[in-house]
Amino acid sequence: MSEHAIPYKIYLSEDEMPKAWYNLKADMINKPAPLLYPETQQPVTLEQLSQIFCRELAQQELNDTDAYIPIPQEIADFYKMYRPAPLVRAYCLEKKLQTPAKIYYKFEGNNTSGSHKLNSAIAQAYYAKQQGLKGVTTETGAGQWGTALSMACSYFDLDCKVYMVKVSYEQKPFRREVMRTYGASVTPSPSMDTEVGRMILAEHPGTGGSLGCAISEAVEKATTTEGYRYVLGSVLNQVLLHQSVIGLETKAAMDKYGIKPDIIIGCAGGGSNLGGLIAPFMGEKLRGEQDYRFIAVEPASCPTLTRGVYAYDYCDTGRVCPLSKMYTLGSGFMPAANHAGGLRYHGMNSVLSQLYADGLMEARSVVQTEVFEAAEQFARVEGILPAPESSHAIKVAIDEAMKCKETGKEKTILFGLTGTGYFDLYAYEKFHDGKMTDYIPSDEEIAKSVSTLPEIR
Amino acid sequence: MSEHAIPYKIYLSEDEMPKAWYNLKADMINKPAPLLYPETQQPVTLEQLSQIFCRELAQQELNDTDAYIPIPQEIADFYKMYRPAPLVRAYCLEKKLQTPAKIYYKFEGNNTSGSHKLNSAIAQAYYAKQQGLKGVTTETGAGQWGTALSMACSYFDLDCKVYMVKVSYEQKPFRREVMRTYGASVTPSPSMDTEVGRMILAEHPGTGGSLGCAISEAVEKATTTEGYRYVLGSVLNQVLLHQSVIGLETKAAMDKYGIKPDIIIGCAGGGSNLGGLIAPFMGEKLRGEQDYRFIAVEPASCPTLTRGVYAYDYCDTGRVCPLSKMYTLGSGFMPAANHAGGLRYHGMNSVLSQLYADGLMEARSVVQTEVFEAAEQFARVEGILPAPESSHAIKVAIDEAMKCKETGKEKTILFGLTGTGYFDLYAYEKFHDGKMTDYIPSDEEIAKSVSTLPEIR
């Protein structure tokens, strides 16, 4: 390799950074079905939603008409601390694979939270501050979201209460320490702090907790404490809106160099990164301006899009949040305990679900050992140790690049590298030691879980 | 904050990146004293040095005439994967401190090794490959250097044998896993792998090892295995040469915006980062073109410059490497076990030692709890969780900024942020739990250690 017309990394300048988020919903002809209020099963009102979320965020959640929402100056300033994120040309990976494909990735890991989650955390903290709140509550499993939120709250001097799944709290002390560095209070869940926590502890004294339980504790704390609201790091449309900064920057960087991706790939758990990355490209597709292939990649152990059903379901195990029409495996679905990364959510953001239902996006599921093989291959040539979540996208990007090698086609592949794996090294250790296994739920297991879906009149 | 003339982060474009390293020695009037061959105590020859190090690196080590050494294209290509490193304007820290000072930092942590060490690792791996070697050996304590070297070796498909201080091997499994991801073999030291390791194990069966012992094992392995050489991550002039890329990029970025630093601050262990950061600025000072204040910051627990002596000493506890004239606490000096970060080396690079002896640079020592206070303050406003090593520089940068607040002077402060603290969270935990203590060696302790210096005829 010597001189390249396209640099290894494309950084936008500060004045090229997006000034507004892009609200993909505004350009959708088939809008996603509305959220339903759990008690009435009627479309949720702004008033109802504002009991759980900050008012401005509730408004963003329901807004499906404004295509652009200006990014407030304070948030734009914070973005400048760790953005623009580089768009990287994977020259070294291409060379290693000997593929004619051109591979690009948008790298969101260059911040202490280690992932794209910070893009929405700072927005949610900002609106909480604007509303005069004292603090916010949330849950965290792997800890990426909790870390991001603690950073954001520290910046705006907001209190941050994180309920961390107990088993993660104990097994991932490092994430916990990062959150403490940023002044967050981190409580292992279930805790004696809430009604629901005490109930669960009484029933299952030795439990290691679950994400569903942690969500229920966080929501209870927010709704029973003066001056607090609950915030969420994925699944919601407000989160997709904030994450559109990923796609907007990517598109601006590509446009600057006249690059058109043929295939756009993102890992998909609740959908925040995928939705953010594809937003402006999907907008062009919806408006008939340009065609792209989109591939959502999910773990075979939690195959929401590829094996779930498209129906109304609860977003949380505690069933206190609004119902959302989405691809789901049932809110009681328990992904295999052996799964190392995130992406364990039973449902999928409603915008992405609608796009998938309309055939505008593909989905693929991949098994975990193959994901870690791809991760290691990538790390060795591109110098970034990827998060297990992000590595799902790497796996499919490599697969597509190898197809190009077979066919000789020079396709341009773009994928989202959502973060780094520095806090996931137990999983890498398992992989190196040959102790990592794959799990694919049976049809019966999924059918059973899906049978618990609520009946919507 | 709204619009700023100077962006938050200054990134050079690829064609603005340095094409050559800068060899500060060439511009020094008082050159550092030559390395001495341990057996003869005569200046070491290229032949002698080439037994331990790659020939090209040995040449760079001895070169004190060429001011610029071109960066080979392969290394420049690798640099493009994670460089240019951003020069960051610490607007948020300035605001928090309410100081009239303008604070900049060069951030070297945006790569998987998490520090600036990669800048020299890739160069050393490249020259080893060029020489047709099979592999290299090294030691690592905290693990930053071992990680960087494993990444570099993986890129050039070289074998990498890392002797990791046993206690770190056990307490820092994550660093070990990163090295394994990059295909390095990581051996806890002392090991049964080498003569010296077996000897130490026979004498002290339960020992947790030491850096000195790991160096001795790595050197023995390199000098007794066909096709291997030993490589080192700091202290040597060749390392300073490669690290000059830090200072060259910083200066180019500052020149682009017409910024002149008044004070330049770096943490100092063996001197690799400090020497690299200050090189081109010190060059201007030596040539009488511009004046700057330089401050080396070292831990109070290992106060090489501030309390050591300037004399010939062994670079390694095993006394197999050449002798160097430097500020030293004695090669047998044992820094307090409670010290959390690196910067525990008993000596200091010979170029920096000479500059300090000539009054061209200041030095300051700081205690560890104050360093972590500064680290946490920085993390909360600047969004980067700094490495304990780098935080020494942060501490003094904040001190200087607070002096500006008192005096009302608008000084421009530049410091080196060498890396991230993602693998140092046990230390942060200790700090949060109030279990971190400070240690300052007594005068007697230092006098005793210094009394073991070799007599040079």
Q: Which of residues 126-155 of B touch A (CB under 8 A)?
A: 151, 154-155
Q: In this complex, is the C-beta atom of A422 within 8 Å of any C-beta atom belonging to chain B?
A: yes
Convert the pLDDT of each residue in B398-433 to its tens digit: 999 999 999 999 999 999 999 999 988 989 999 999
- Is B1 in Cβ contact with A13 (below 8 Å)? no
**pLDDT value of residue A3:** 47
What's the sign of the alpha-carbon dihedral A209, A211, A214, A220?
negative
Q: In this complex, is the C-beta atom of B157 within 8 Å of any C-beta atom belonging to chain A?
A: no
Confidence category of residue B4, pLDDT binned at 50, 70, 90: low
**pLDDT exceeds 80 at position B336:** no
Same domain, A287 and A199: no
Same domain, A334 and A382: yes
Same domain, A65 and A146: yes
From the list A245, A233, A110, the residue with the least C-alpha distance to A160 is: A233
Stated as kind and residue range, the H or E segment containing B89 is strand B87-89
CB A395 within 8 A of CB A386: no
- Is A178 in Cβ contact with B385 (below 8 Å)? yes
- In one letter, which amino acid is B308? G
Best mutation target, A6, A9, A147, to test chain B (most B CBs within 10 A): A9
Q: How far is B252 from chain A (nearest CA, A)?
A: 17
**How remote is the C-alpha of B97 from its chain's centroid?**
28
Nearest CA in chain B to A425: B174
Same domain, A412 and A438: yes
Does this complex have an ipTM over 0.95?
no
What's the sign of the alpha-carbon dihedral B127, B129, B130, B133?
positive
Q: In this complex, is the C-beta atom of A156 within 8 Å of any C-beta atom belonging to chain B?
A: no
Q: How far is Cα B139 from Cα B166, in angstroms, rounded to an integer?
A: 11
**pLDDT value of residue A2:** 41
A212 within domain boundaries: yes
Same domain, A294 and A436: yes
- In one letter, which amino acid is B135? G
Q: How far is Cα B56 from Cα B60, in angstroms, rounded to an integer?
A: 6
Q: Is A410 exposed, middle or buried (0-12, 13-18, 19+ CB in 10 A)?
A: exposed
Rg (C-alpha) for chain A, rounded Å, is 21
Confidence category of residue B3, pLDDT binned at 50, 70, 90: very low
Best mutation target, B80, B83, B95, B373, to test chain A (most A CBs within 10 A): B80
Last residue of some domain: A197, A230, A263? A230
CB A10 within 8 A of CB A256: yes
Nearest neighbour of A112 by CB, restricted to B155, B384, B429:
B384
Nearest neighbour of B8 by CB, restricted to A80, A110, A383:
A80
Q: In this complex, is the C-beta atom of A110 within 8 Å of any C-beta atom belonging to chain B?
A: yes
Best mutation target, A78, A385, A431, to test chain B (most B CBs within 10 A): A385
**pLDDT value of residue B167:** 84
From the list B254, B276, B432, the residue with the least C-alpha distance to A182 is: B432
From the list A326, A402, A404, the residue with the least C-alpha distance to A370 is: A402
Nearest neighbour of B181 by CB, restricted to A177, A420, A428:
A428
Last residue of some domain: A230, A264, A281? A230
Q: In this complex, is the C-beta atom of A384 within 8 Å of any C-beta atom belonging to chain B?
A: yes
- Relative to beta strand A135-140, strand A228-230 is parallel
**How remote is the C-alpha of A32 from its chain's centroid?**
18
B456 within domain boundaries: no
Nearest CA in chain A to B419: A112
Q: How far is Cα B379 from Cα B393, in angstroms, rounded to an integer?
A: 14
Q: In this complex, is the C-beta atom of A80 within 8 Å of any C-beta atom belonging to chain B?
A: yes
Does residue B280 have a cis bond before it (omega within 30 degrees)? Answer: no
Nearest neighbour of B14 by CB, restricted to A8, A92, A180:
A8
**How remote is the C-alpha of B74 from its chain's centroid?**
23
- Is B383 in Cβ contact with A111 (below 8 Å)? yes
Q: In this complex, is the C-beta atom of B181 within 8 Å of any C-beta atom belonging to chain A?
A: yes
Q: How far is Cα A398 from Cα A396, in angstroms, rounded to an integer?
A: 5
Q: How far is B20 from chain A (nearest CA, A)?
A: 16
- In one letter, which amino acid is A140? T
**pLDDT value of residue B1:** 39
Tokens representing A279 are 């937003």
**Total Cβ atoms within 10 A of residue B80:** 20
Confidence category of residue B170, pLDDT binned at 50, 70, 90: confident
Strands (E) in B231-277, as ranges, are 263-267
Beta-carbon contacts of residue B165 (< 8 Å; ≥ 6 apart): B139, B140, B141, B188, B189, B208, B209, B210, B211, B213, B214
Query: How far apart, in Å, do the first and last CA atoms of chain B sit?
Result: 62
Tokens representing B408 are 């009302």
> Residue A90 to residues A379, B14, B121: CA-CA distances in angstroms?
11, 15, 21
Convert the pLDDT of each residue in B58-77 to its tens digit: 999 999 999 999 999 999 99
Beta-carbon contacts of residue A253 (< 8 Å; ≥ 6 apart): A10, A11, A12, A84, A87
Buried b (16+ CB within 10 A) or exposed e, B236-254: bbbbbbbbbbbbbbbbbbb
**pLDDT value of residue A4:** 65
B163 secondary structure, DSSP code = E
**Total Cβ atoms within 10 A of residue A397:** 30
Same domain, A12 and A39: no
**pLDDT value of residue A385:** 95
Q: Which residues of A touch B89 (CB under 8 A)?
A: none
- Is A181 in Cβ contact with B385 (below 8 Å)? yes
A455 within domain boundaries: no
Rg (C-alpha) for chain B, rounded Å, is 21
Q: How far is A8 from chain B (nearest CA, A)?
A: 6
A156 within domain boundaries: yes
Scan for tokens 């982060």, then name that residue: B9
The DSSP bridge partners found for residue B107 are: B417
Please give the residue range of the domain that contains residue A124: 20-70+117-230
Q: In this complex, is the C-beta atom of B73 within 8 Å of any C-beta atom belonging to chain A?
A: yes
Same domain, A216 and A354: no
The DSSP bridge partners found for residue B140 are: B164
Query: How far apart, in Å, do the first and last CA atoms of chain A sit?
Result: 62
Q: Which residues of A touch B80 (CB under 8 A)?
A: 7-9
Q: How far is Cα A221 from Cα A161, in angstroms, rounded to an integer?
A: 9
CB B12 within 8 A of CB B252: yes
Same domain, B62 and B101: no
Q: What is the mean pLDDT of chain B?
A: 93
Nearest neighbour of B80 by CB, restricted to A8, A112, A376:
A8
Nearest CA in chain A to B373: A181
Same domain, A297 and A390: yes
Total domains in chain B come to: 2
B393 within domain boundaries: yes
- In one letter, which amino acid is A246? I
Best mutation target, A75, A177, A249, to test chain B (most B CBs within 10 A): A177
Stated as kind and residue range, the H or E segment containing B363 is strand B362-366
- Is B81 in Cβ contact with A92 (below 8 Å)? yes
- Relative to beta strand A87-89, strand A9-10 is antiparallel
- Is B180 in Cβ contact with A379 (below 8 Å)? no
Same domain, A282 and A170: no
**Total Cβ atoms within 10 A of residue A157:** 11
**How remote is the C-alpha of B123 from its chain's centroid?**
15
Convert the pLDDT of each residue in B81-136 to its tens digit: 999 999 999 999 999 999 999 999 999 999 999 999 999 999 999 999 999 999 99
Tokens representing B40 are 């003869």
**pLDDT value of residue A304:** 96
From the list B213, B8, B199, the residue with the least C-alpha distance to B102 is: B8
**How remote is the C-alpha of A327 from its chain's centroid?**
15
Same domain, A212 and A334: no
- Is A77 in Cβ contact with B2 (below 8 Å)? yes
Q: How far is B268 from chain A (nearest CA, A)?
A: 24
A328 secondary structure, DSSP code = E
B457 within domain boundaries: no
Convert the pLDDT of each residue in B362-395 to its tens digit: 999 999 999 999 999 999 999 899 999 999 999 9
Nearest neighbour of B428 by CB, restricted to A2, A181, A376:
A181
Same domain, A247 and A224: no
B100 within domain boundaries: yes
> Residue B445 to residues A434, B304, B307, B441: CA-CA distances in angstroms?
48, 13, 11, 6
Q: In this complex, is the C-beta atom of A8 within 8 Å of any C-beta atom belonging to chain B?
A: yes
Last residue of some domain: A184, A204, A230? A230
Q: Which residues of B touch A19 (CB under 8 A)?
A: none
- 10-residue stretch averages of pLDDT, chain A, 457 residues long: 75 96 98 94 95 94 97 96 96 96 97 94 98 96 91 96 90 88 94 93 87 87 94 93 98 97 96 97 98 97 96 84 94 76 86 98 97 96 93 98 98 97 90 93 95 86
**Total Cβ atoms within 10 A of residue A123:** 29
The values of phi and psi at residue B224, to 5°, are -115, 5
Q: In CATH, what number is assigned to the domain containing residue A47?
A: 3.40.50.1100
Q: Is B233 exposed, middle or buried (0-12, 13-18, 19+ CB in 10 A)?
A: buried
Q: How far is A158 from chain B (nearest CA, A)?
A: 12
Q: In this complex, is the C-beta atom of B372 within 8 Å of any C-beta atom belonging to chain A?
A: no
Q: Which residues of B touch A374 (CB under 8 A)?
A: none
B398 within domain boundaries: yes
Convert the pLDDT of each residue in B267-306 to its tens digit: 999 999 999 999 999 999 999 999 999 999 999 999 999 9
